[in-house]
Structure 1
Amino acid sequence: MGNKVEYKAAIAIPPGETLKEYLDDINMSQKELAKRTGLTEKHISEIINGKAPISQDTSIKLEYVLEIPASFWNNLELNYQETKARIKAEKDLEDEIEIAKEIPYAEIARLGWLNKTSDAKEKVKNLRNLFSVASLKQVPLTLSGAFRKSDGNNTSSYALAVWLRKGELNGEKIYTEKYNKNKLRKLIPDFRKLTLENPKEFYPKMVQLCASCGIALVLVPHISKTYACGATQWVNPNKAVVQLSVRGARADIFWFTFFHEIAHILCHEKKAFHLQEQVSEICIEDEADNCAREWLIPQDSYEQLVNSLGYSNKQSIISFSKQIGVHPCIVVGRLAHDGKITYGQYSDLRPSFTIKKN
């Protein structure tokens, strides 16, 4: 175990106290010192009471008058300011412990995102490093990214920030071409065909296709207090990160979330999307949902299926899926979401799967 210097909170003693003690020792009044240094009595009083610093100019004047080196006064002032700053930093650290409690630290440490520790202050320091901030208070509560979030859950903004940050860091490691909107739009049919393959085959292809048009696709495990299935964030004008949590591990949810995030990239501006329940945000999410639905199951085809009750048996659903060229899970998930069937029906057509994470 290496040596580690830890700062222990101390009392910050202003250099003015030392100056006052010395003046008392030599029986010099503040008024007399003011005359000899050319400083005002008010300024001398402020220095002695810790309300004004000893500047380098003042330290030289004190050296001439008191015959004590300017470096002595400068060091007193430097140590005083550093001690004050460290005391404040320690207080800030203690305040941020409450923020850190919103984050499932033990869980993300088990995932290898941060070092394991039971020390509250170490948790804060490690989280600061993760976010690359001087204070957890600087982590924006308005998060970049458009989330697919389950309703009715107690979401922690800070836990979401951790999840997003991990996606951003993972995305930075993936080389991508410059963002190409036209190429991405042309790739929609190719992504759609991948729904017919198993995860071991389709996921590497997804990553490659996304990278070819400026998107870093990453899988970031779901963590407590987030309830997010996916998010989109722009790391620069030429690169977007689409991150998926595979929360619930259902194939239909995975694919719908992916196409939802692609819709954000194609249909919306290169800016942050927020969690706030604002009308504009709700409209943006609805628009992305509608695009994803249309890409996966064209509306006219879906209406024909529903109107003809073509979902009354498993074979009909399988046949319809083959007809439109998607995995049956896509159709079953849509029907269940729209209340045409229960989520328990045809559950064998909605497989769960595991994808090796980035």
Structure 2
Amino acid sequence: MGRKKDRKEEELIAIPPGETIKENLEYLGMTQAEFAQRMGLSEKTVSEIINGIAPITYETALKLENVIGASAEFWMNLEANYQLAKARIAEKQKLKDEEKILNQIPYNEMSKYKWVPQTKNKEEKIKNLRNFFGVSSLNFIPQTLEVCFRKANNEKTSCYALAAWIRKAEIEAHKIETKPFNKEKIYQIIPVIRELTKHSWDEIYPKLINLCSECGIALVTLPHLKGTYVNGATKWLKKDKVLLALSYRYKFADVYWFSFFHELGHILKHGRKEVFIEGDDGISKCELEEEADNFAANILIPYKDYKKFITENKSFTKDKIISFANSLNIHPCIVVGRLMHDKKINHWDFTELRPKVTWQK
């Protein structure tokens, strides 16, 4: 093991071209002072070149070719190799410094979903994550995904896990071709999307993606990462394309549909500069989040219809829920989810009416 380590360390030694110059001067029996005169350079400059402080320029390489005899290309190659070796040493240290950030990123979970290649090597993990996040250093992740670090201002949420989830959503969204954003068209297709809630997940998911893309929305649904507490997010990728990302966190269809319309509310009603991330991480909701909640709730079940339903029924049965859902042309799970949220029923009631969505790999 010792020999292997020594060999590895030798590869990281940066030898300045000045060492070769010094060897040649000794062979020629030439002092640095004489060498400086022959080169037309100051003794200080020669000293800096020999000690690797000053680089060999093209002009210096041509002078070396005349004074010492090796070609200018030879000297430039020595300089290039020296600079590259120094860069590799610096890179090695950067990788070491970034290990503390690596420890905060759920790499193994990400590799399980094939977001990044599987590896146990820390340096490879860091390089893979740089590529994943599109940064030259993991230190730059907070600057590129600031919202995740503003959002994750509590002990529960992992800011780096949240950043990874948002980044993956961006990557997948860029793969989706969309037509230019069209707000009017979105309002037109909302009844069509509501009707999709009645059908099986495998059947409707491709249709939902297509409907969204026709309006300029790139719909992405991803597995949940531990520590993110995220249900959905929206982010404008460019002026005519917006990302709507959803998580398979709870897996219940009613949660998925509420999150979908919640994010749609942000897209339709709120500004394009802000990135919205929705979850239940213990942070009190702001006015915009409450507005998106109300939009989703009223789109799925109009307020007047819901108020009448809960007023006329002191208790709720499976038949009543199904009948009410049919009158609204939505899946019964939407009604169950609303009643659960409003604490009209227990969370274990009518689970048979709550199908689960499955991850589309």
Tell me the alpha carbon deviations over residues 184-205 of structure 1, each in whole angstroms, 9 at most, x when there is no partner: 1221122122222232333232
Task: Sort the Cα spacing of 1:106 and 1:208 in 2 relative to 1 into closer, same or farther, 3 A.
Answer: same
Within 1, Cα distance between the matches of 2:136 and 2:153?
33
TM-score of the aligned structures, taking structure 1 as reference length: 0.83
Residue 289 of structure 2: aligned partner: 285
Ranges in structure 2 where 5+ consecutive residues have no aligned partner: 1-6
- Aligned AA (2:286): I
Judge which range, 254-263 or 219-228, deviates more: 219-228
Within 2, Cα distance between the matches of 1:299 and 1:222?
31
Task: Sort the Cα spacing of 1:201 and 1:59 in 2 relative to 1 into closer, same or farther, 3 A.
Answer: closer
TM-score of the aligned structures, taking structure 2 as reference length: 0.82
Within 2, Cα distance between the matches of 1:144 and 1:348?
41
Shift in Å, 1:309: 6.2
The sequence identity of aligned pairs, in percent, is: 46
More RCO (CA 8 Å, sep 6+) = 1
Kept after mapping to 2: 8 A contact 1:60/1:70:
yes
Shift in Å, 1:58: 1.3
Ranges in structure 1 where 5+ consecutive residues have no aligned partner: 1-5
Within 2, Cα distance between the matches of 1:329 and 1:192?
12
Let me know the Cα RMSD of the aligned residues. Answer: 3.4
Within 2, Cα distance between the matches of 1:126 and 1:153?
27
Which one of the candidate residues 221, 226, 231 is aligned to 1:219? 221
Query: What SS does the corresponding residue of 1:139 show, helix, strand or coil?
Result: helix
Kept after mapping to 2: 8 A contact 1:16/1:47:
yes
Within 2, Cα distance between the matches of 1:15 and 1:91?
23
- Aligned AA (1:179): F
Is 1:168 paired with 2:170? yes
Shift in Å, 1:254: 0.6
Which one of the candidate residues 176, 181, 184 is aligned to 2:183? 181
Shift in Å, 1:74: 1.7
Which one of the candidate residues 330, 337, 340 is aligned to 1:326? 330
Residue 360 of structure 2: aligned partner: 357
Which one of the candidate residues 296, 308, 312 is aligned to 2:300? 296
Kept after mapping to 2: 8 A contact 1:12/1:84:
yes
Task: Sort the Cα spacing of 1:84 and 1:152 in 2 relative to 1 into closer, same or farther, 3 A.
Answer: closer
Within 2, Cα distance between the matches of 1:134 and 1:338?
47
Query: What SS does the corresponding residue of 1:241 show, helix, strand or coil?
Result: strand
Residue 101 of structure 1: aligned partner: 103
Task: Sort the Cα spacing of 1:146 and 1:282 in 2 relative to 1 into closer, same or farther, 3 A.
Answer: farther
Within 1, Cα distance between the matches of 2:329 and 2:131?
46
Residue 313 of structure 2: aligned partner: 310
Aligned pairs, number = 349
The correspondence of residues 58-137 of structure 1 with structure 2, limited to 5 A, is 58-137=60-139
